[in-house]
């Protein structure tokens, strides 16, 4: 990494300030050639982490009045010499200074190249590098909190501790490899206990990664029920705007509508208004219901909506029982239209199901429904979620499989312990790949390609 890179680090558009970032061995000298400090000083001799006021001048023309921050290797974000130029936030100024710096010898940075250099120079591990992008893209306070936790190295610490346990077990095992027939029962039981413990912790990390998906992508809540029970009106009431078309004609919603709700707790909730389920009247009805069922499978919480002013049909009871058969789905029974005389017989539903009474039209009970959604989210322990990408999750699944294979070897002793030694070595390697200790540059390139330019 002997070349010098430069990029605009702030979004293009008119703003109070803009930032241009450089990194590389010669960046201080490059900036020095076009920066005229108000006080006569040599940027290459100033202390690291200092700020300097002056003008960018090129071919005897003042381009802008700026502040220049100097960060010297290895005590910088990338581990290299870095410079940040704070300009007025005009896209014309930013583009002009960028062009000048390229003419002076820097090249335009690739996506995520600054963070990639920080990773390659050992300033952060791969998980921490990912967290920086997750901080930038966080859509809720909860997502931001989890991303910051990952940046601090909390996830990395858990993985390193697990890797260390595997390493210690392998070293202990290698001492016994020459005489597997002499392995005592208590030693075998100790190894089994350790592998079972690692397996449980890996399984728990995978569960937390799933909860992390809910945090990052939003907790998915779906409105389900037969046509014309008021699902679209309830959707609009939760969104606090008229997003879905509402008519007295049954089956108005043929496709699903998605909206986002930010709860006071900081959680992002994605709410789906869907086509009513039942017996389709035509091909459009059938297609809409098929989409509803697909969203149902991906949902976290189901709001089963019934019309409190009408009677419950046999078809509706069958639909409710079908939904209850879904695995790992939370359900709230929402009785709508409580502003009208009530005819609904709730005894047909099980007593243990949570019930919320609302009038979407009059706004009655909407706050109670939001609180109920929040309670269900809290019960999922989302605060404990972690962010892992698909590659890292697949590696954890590999490690889980290695644990099972190792346990099988120990259960079936006596047999060659070499097999178990190889399994433990592969486990160590997989942990190293998650942390970026042994990751290929191809994988790293794919991860950093999701970053924005300038980060």
Q: Is 274 annotated as a binding residue?
A: yes
8 A C-beta contact, residue 339 and residue 361: yes
Q: Which tokens in the block code for residue 112?
A: 């995520």
Do the bridges between strand 15-23 and strand 82-89 make them parallel or antiparallel, or are there none, so unpaired?
Answer: antiparallel
For residues 168 and 428, give the distance between their C-alpha atoms in angstroms, rounded to a whole number.
10
Q: Is 230 annotated as a binding residue?
A: yes
Q: Is 45 annotated as a binding residue?
A: no
pLDDT tens-digit series, residues 281-313: 555 556 666 676 677 777 788 899 988 888 888
Topology, domain 5-125: Gyrase A; domain 2 (3.30.1360)
For residue 371, what are the contacts with CB-CB under 8 A and spacing of at least 6? Answer: none
For residue 334, what are the contacts with CB-CB under 8 A and spacing of at least 6? Answer: 234, 303, 304, 305, 306, 355, 356, 358, 369
Residue 324, SS3? Answer: helix
Name the pLDDT band for 428 (thresholds 50, 70, 90). Answer: very high
Long-range contacts from 440-444, C-beta under 8 angstroms, 24+ separation: 443/391, 444/116, 444/119, 444/120, 444/126
Name the pLDDT band for 254 (thresholds 50, 70, 90). Answer: very low
Q: Which tokens in the block code for residue 451?
A: 């970053």
pLDDT above 60: residue 244? no
Q: Is 247 annotated as a binding residue?
A: yes
Q: Is 240 annotated as a binding residue?
A: no
Q: Is 252 annotated as a binding residue?
A: yes
pLDDT above 50: residue 405? yes
- Separation in Å, CA 211 to CA 204, 207, 214, 312: 11, 6, 5, 35
pLDDT above 60: residue 247? no
Q: Is 249 annotated as a binding residue?
A: yes
Residue range(s) in the chain whose domain bears CATH number 3.30.1360.120: 5-125
* pLDDT (0 to 100) of residue 398: 94
What percent of the chain stands above pLDDT 90?
Answer: 35
pLDDT above 50: residue 252? no
Q: Is 276 annotated as a binding residue?
A: yes
Residue range(s) in the chain whose domain bears CATH number 1.20.120.430: 139-214+388-439
Q: Is 273 annotated as a binding residue?
A: yes
For residues 250 and 232, give the distance between their C-alpha atoms in angstroms, rounded to a whole number.
11
Q: Is 32 annotated as a binding residue?
A: no
Q: Is 84 annotated as a binding residue?
A: yes
Q: Is 232 annotated as a binding residue?
A: yes
Q: Is 250 annotated as a binding residue?
A: yes
Q: Is 208 annotated as a binding residue?
A: no
Q: How many CA atoms lie within 13 A of 25 on its CB side?
A: 3
Asked if CATH classification 1.20.120.430 holds for the domain at 139-214+388-439, the reply, yes or no, is yes
Q: Whose CA is closest to 389, among 269, 216, 266, 267?
A: 216
Q: Is 286 annotated as a binding residue?
A: no
For residue 303, what are the β-bridge partners?
223, 332
| 242 vs 132, higher pLDDT | 132
pLDDT above 50: residue 8? yes
Q: Is 123 annotated as a binding residue?
A: yes
What percent of the chain stands above pLDDT 70?
Answer: 86
Residue range(s) in the chain whose domain bears CATH number 3.40.50.300: 221-384
* pLDDT (0 to 100) of residue 251: 46
For residues 116 and 128, give the distance between their C-alpha atoms in angstroms, rounded to a whole number.
11
pLDDT tens-digit series, residues 97-110: 999 999 999 999 99
Q: Is 324 annotated as a binding residue?
A: no
Name the pLDDT band for 80 (thresholds 50, 70, 90). Answer: very high
Topology, domain 221-384: Rossmann fold (3.40.50)
């Amino acid at each position: 990494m002997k070349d010098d890179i430069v990029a605009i680090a702030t979004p293009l558009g008119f703003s109070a300030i803009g930032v241009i970032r450089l990194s590389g061995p010669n960046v201080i000298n490059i900036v020095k050639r076009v920066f005229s400090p108000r006080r006569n000083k040599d940027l290459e001799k100033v202390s690291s982490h200092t700020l300097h006021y002056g003008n960018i001048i090129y071919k005897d023309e003042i381009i802008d009045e700026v502040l220049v921050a100097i960060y010297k290797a290895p005590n910088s974000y990338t581990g290299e010499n870095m410079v940040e130029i704070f300009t007025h936030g005009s896209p014309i100024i930013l583009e002009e200074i960028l062009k000048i710096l390229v003419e002076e010898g820097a090249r335009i940075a690739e996506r995520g190249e600054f963070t990639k250099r920080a990773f390659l120079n050992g300033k952060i591990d791969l998980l921490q590098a990912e967290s920086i992008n997750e901080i930038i893209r966080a859509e809720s306070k909860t997502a931001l909190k989890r991303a910051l936790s990952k940046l601090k190295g909390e996830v990395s610490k858990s993985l390193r501790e697990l890797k260390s346990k595997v390493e210690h077990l392998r070293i202990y095992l290698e001492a016994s490899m020459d005489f597997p027939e002499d392995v005592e029962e208590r030693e075998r039981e100790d190894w089994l206990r350790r592998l079972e413990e690692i397996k449980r912790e890996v399984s728990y990390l995978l569960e937390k990664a799933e909860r992390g998906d809910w945090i990052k992508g939003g907790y998915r809540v779906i409105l389900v029920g037969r046509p014309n029970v008021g699902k679209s009106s309830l959707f609009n009431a939760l969104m606090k705007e008229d997003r879905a078309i509402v008519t007295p004609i049954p089956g108005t919603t043929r496709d699903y509508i998605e909206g986002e709700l930010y709860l006071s707790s900081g959680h992002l909730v994605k709410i789906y208004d869907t086509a009513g389920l039942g017996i389709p009247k035509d091909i459009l009805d059938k297609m809409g219901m098929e989409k509803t069922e697909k969203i149902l499978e991906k949902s976290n919480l189901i709001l089963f909506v019934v019309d409190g002013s009408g009677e419950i049909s046999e078809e509706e009871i069958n639909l409710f029982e079908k939904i209850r058969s879904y695995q790992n789905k939370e359900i709230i029974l929402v009785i709508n239209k409580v502003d009208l005389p009530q005819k609904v017989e709730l005894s047909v539903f099980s007593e243990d199901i949570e019930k919320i009474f609302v009038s979407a039209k009059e706004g009655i009970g909407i706050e109670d429904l939001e609180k109920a959604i929040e309670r269900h989210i809290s019960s999922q322990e989302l605060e404990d979620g972690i962010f892992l990408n698909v590659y890292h999750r697949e590696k954890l699944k590999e490690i889980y499989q290695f644990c099972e294979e190792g346990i099988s070897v120990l259960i079936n002793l006596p047999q060659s312990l070499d097999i178990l030694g190889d399994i433990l070595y592969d486990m160590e390697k997989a942990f190293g790949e998650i942390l970026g200790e042994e990751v290929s540059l191809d994988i790293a390139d794919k991860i950093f390609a999701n970053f924005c330019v300038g980060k």
